[in-house]
Chain A
Amino acid sequence: MIDSTTNSRFSTKQLIVIYTIISLVGLLIVWELVARFTSASMFLPPASEVLAAFARSFVEPIGQHTMLAHVGVSLYRVAVAFIFATIIGIALGVGMGYSKLFEAIFKPIFEFIRPIPPLAWIPLSILWFGLSDTGKFFIIFLGCFCFITVNTYDGAKNVDPELIGAARMLGASEKQVFFKIVLPSSVPYIFAGLQIAVTAGWSAVVGSEMIQSNEGVGWVIIRGMSTGNTVQIMVGIVAIGIVGFALANITSALERRLCSWNAQKGM
């Protein structure tokens, strides 16, 4: 616990930043020491070497592209799949949560697809879509759309019935109840889903780029594996970690902005 009353030199906010830095630097030091002084050094390149290679990767291309281009390509793939997943996930989730009929039709299919890991679809996706980007979109889509659907469904199911009653009493039609009450009231749930989904989609990119490709952060890792280049594997991992961290923070900042009305629970 950080107790701001016992430490007058730093504010709580500053302490959080300081501890975060200590935590990250600590990780790097432990990594460096383990890699240099234990038998793990055979498989784990030291942090300093990886970070240097990571920095270099922005100027010297890995394969045909520099790191920025690899990240860009991967982000593009996630973005396309994520947009489709968002549209379909929200529509499916809110539909199943609001309409019993819709739920009866789509829920069994959805529950069947949900537990299948996205990577299990790779062979089929190669058959269906070949080695094009479409196949990668498909895998990333499957990696994130379930989270959006489940959360939206939860949100639409948990709309306070009194709010729906209040809207009807005020003269709202069924359509207005749906768009003005059910949908906005599900927004915090939808955002929770989007946040998990964007991270899950970003994780799925590695899998999707295992399908033959010549670029992307997933490819950097796969390529590193096939050439036995552990430094390059770690560089890819570091890139994925940093971008994933940034994505999670961007979505949660977006949520705080758009759902400020929800900041205080228990109304």
Chain B
Amino acid sequence: MERSEGNVKTKTPVLECRNVGRSFDSYDGSGKNEVLRGMDFEVYENEFLVLFGAGQCGKTTLLNILAGLDMPTEGEVLARGQKVTKPAPERGFVYQKTSLFPWMTVEENVGFGPKVRHLPEKEVQERVKKYLDLVGLTGFEKSYPNQLSGGMRQRVGIARAYANEPDIMLMDEPFGHLDAQTRYMMEEELQRIWQKEKRTVVFVTNNIEEALFLADRIILLTNCPTHIKEEYEINMPHPRDYVDPEFLRLRQLITDNMDLTL
């Protein structure tokens, strides 16, 4: 089996998800609608962890809980040993629909985090410059989000999360809305960015190719309620090839293990 102890990680977890469950009251008030059950895993320093599963159910809820935007009804989330109770700039978030502030220019969006945290103006400017350069958007500082393409907006979203220099980056299907070609390009871009500026990443996707292209480790989730089915350590070197035999073997292995009953 691919389950392993992990060989490259330092054993201090950045984030610990301890037996997390989440239920919502059902609409008629007659009972509970269980979305997450017994989620138990750690995220290690500078690891690229992919939470992979089909369908809509649970993944975003889990990411919101890791972020502190939502509270679990069972269990707890620890960030560097501290219980997560609210959103904090130590955890950066990249959204599926980018959620850039449309009335702000690109540089104002990227500088938003450092600015609201009252970093010195000079530092704010430096970070804006550094991370716009990192995502390849130098020259677009004064553009508004509605003037950019989907891929460019996603780059701004990534730069905005990076600009806070967070301890961990949470990415919620960031390329889910992009067309296939842009998506491949952005996956390569993200890989490049991440190699250059290592961060601990939790990346949610329902795309197996994307998961295999990016991940150090894949947690396979299964639906309703969402729980962990399997974990895979991915040790292929980067940049990865979509038609490499090992890539295709893992793809087959993981896909076969998915419950596609929905």
Judging by beta carbons under 8 Å apart, are B88 and A171 in contact?
Answer: yes
Given A169-B91, A172-B116, A181-B101 contact (CB < 8 Å): yes
Task: Give the interface size bracket for A toward B.
Answer: 20 to 34
Judging by beta carbons under 8 Å apart, are B145 and A170 in contact?
Answer: no
Judging by beta carbons under 8 Å apart, are A180 and B102 in contact?
Answer: no
Interface-central residue, A166, A185, A262, A263, by most chain B CB under 10 Å: A166
B residues 104-145 in Cβ contact with A at 8 Å: 104, 112-113, 116-117, 144-145
Is A111's beta carbon under 8 Å from chain B? Answer: no
Q: Which of B51-59, B92-100, B218-226 contacts A (4 or more CB under 8 A)?
A: B92-100
A-B contact pairs, 30 of them (CB 8 A): A162-B95, A163-B101, A166-B93, A166-B95, A167-B101, A167-B112, A168-B69, A169-B69, A169-B92, A170-B112, A170-B113, A170-B116, A170-B160, A171-B88, A171-B117, A172-B112, A172-B116, A173-B116, A180-B112, A181-B101, A185-B101, A185-B103, A261-B103, A261-B104, A261-B146, A262-B102, A262-B103, A267-B100, A267-B146, A267-B153
Is B164's beta carbon under 8 Å from chain A? Answer: yes
Interface-central residue, B69, B86, B153, by most chain A CB under 10 Å: B69
Is A221's beta carbon under 8 Å from chain B? Answer: no
Instruction: Tell me which residues across on chain B come within 8 A of A167, comparing CB atoms.
Output: 101, 112, 116
Task: Provide the main secondary structure of the chain A interface.
Answer: helix
- Number of B residues whose C-beta is below 8 Å from A? 28
Q: Kindly report which residue of chain A lies nearest to residue B164, judged by CB atoms.
A: A170
Instruction: Tell me which residues across on chain A come within 8 A of B117, comparing CB atoms.
Output: 171
Q: Kindly report which residue of chain A lies nearest to residue B170, judged by CB atoms.
A: A169
Q: Give chain B's interface residues, CB within 8 Å of chain A.
A: 67, 69, 86-89, 91-93, 95, 97-104, 112-113, 116-117, 144-146, 153, 160, 164
Instruction: Tell me which residues across on chain A come within 8 A of B98, comparing CB atoms.
Output: 267
Task: Provide the main secondary structure of the chain B interface.
Answer: loop
Known: A170-B164, A171-B113. 20 other contacts (CB 8 A): A160-B99, A162-B97, A162-B99, A166-B93, A166-B99, A166-B101, A168-B86, A168-B87, A170-B89, A170-B160, A171-B89, A176-B116, A181-B101, A185-B103, A187-B103, A259-B103, A261-B102, A267-B97, A267-B102, A267-B146
Is A184's beta carbon under 8 Å from chain B? Answer: yes
Given A261-B146, A264-B146, A169-B103 contact (CB < 8 Å): no
Q: Give chain A's interface residues, CB within 8 Å of chain B.
A: 160, 162-163, 165-173, 176, 180-181, 184-185, 187, 259-264, 267
Judging by beta carbons under 8 Å apart, are B102 and A171 in contact?
Answer: no
Nearest 4 A/B pairs, CB to CB: A171-B89, A170-B113, A264-B146, A168-B87
Judging by beta carbons under 8 Å apart, are A165 and B87 in contact?
Answer: yes
Judging by beta carbons under 8 Å apart, are A184 and B112 in contact?
Answer: no
Instruction: Tell me which residues across on chain A come within 8 A of B103, comparing CB atoms.
Output: 184-185, 187, 259, 261-262
Judging by beta carbons under 8 Å apart, are B164 and A165 in contact?
Answer: no
**When the two chains form the complex, which single residue of A165, A176, A184, A267 contacts B145, counting CB atoms closer than 8 Å?**
A267
Give min CB distance, B161 to chain A, whole Å: 8
Given A169-B69, A171-B88, A180-B116 contact (CB < 8 Å): yes
Give min CB distance, A182 to chain B, whole Å: 11
Given A170-B160, A261-B144, A264-B146, A163-B113 contact (CB < 8 Å): no
Complex Cα–Cα for A209 and B101 (A): 45
Complex Cα–Cα for A264 and B100 (A): 14
Q: Kindly report which residue of chain A lies nearest to residue B160, judged by CB atoms.
A: A170
Q: Kindly report which residue of chain A lies nearest to residue B146, judged by CB atoms.
A: A264
Judging by beta carbons under 8 Å apart, are A165 and B102 in contact?
Answer: no
Give min CB distance, B18 to chain A, whole Å: 21
Instruction: Tell me which residues across on chain B come within 8 A of A259, comparing CB atoms.
Output: 103
Complex Cα–Cα for A165 and B63 (A): 13
Complex Cα–Cα for A162 and B113 (A): 15
Judging by beta carbons under 8 Å apart, are A163 and B99 in contact?
Answer: yes
Give min CB distance, A177 to chain B, whole Å: 9
Give min CB distance, B67 to chain A, whole Å: 6
Instruction: Tell me which residues across on chain B come within 8 A of A184, comparing CB atoms.
Output: 101, 103
Q: Kindly report which residue of chain A lies nearest to residue B144, judged by CB atoms.
A: A261
Complex Cα–Cα for A160 and B100 (A): 11
Q: Kindly report which residue of chain A lies nearest to residue B101, judged by CB atoms.
A: A163
Given A263-B146, A267-B102, A169-B93 contact (CB < 8 Å): yes
Complex Cα–Cα for A259 and B144 (A): 11
